[in-house]
């Protein structure tokens, strides 16, 4: 399905089994887990497209972002 590329802000493709995120515009190629961490770390405004994935941990992520550095 189509998602927003965290690098170039254009259309990227999320695999149907949520295993992979690819963007043909900038060459982005990462696992969904890496993608979630990437956008959560860089763009809190993308929380909308993460949906249930972060919903259960919301409130905890703010204090743990530094651990991803």
Query: Shortest distance, CB of residue 36 to Zn ion, whole angstroms?
Result: 16
Nearer to Zn ion, 23 or 40 (CB): 23
Which lies closer to Zn ion via its Cβ, residue 7 or residue 61?
Answer: 7
Which residues of the chain form contacts with Zn ion (CB under 5 A)?
5, 7-8, 23, 25-26, 28
Residue owning tokens 């770390």: 41
Please report how close the Cβ of residue 16 comes to Zn ion at its closest, in angstroms.
Answer: 19
Closest C-alpha to 30, from 57, 7, 52: 7
């Amino acid at each position: 399905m189509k998602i927003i590329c965290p690098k170039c802000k254009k259309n990227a493709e999320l695999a149907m089994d949520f295993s992979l995120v690819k963007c043909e515009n900038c060459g982005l190629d990462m696992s969904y887990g890496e993608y979630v961490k990437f956008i959560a770390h860089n763009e809190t405004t993308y929380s909308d497209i993460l949906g249930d994935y972060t919903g259960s941990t919301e409130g905890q992520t703010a204090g743990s972002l530094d651990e991803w550095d």
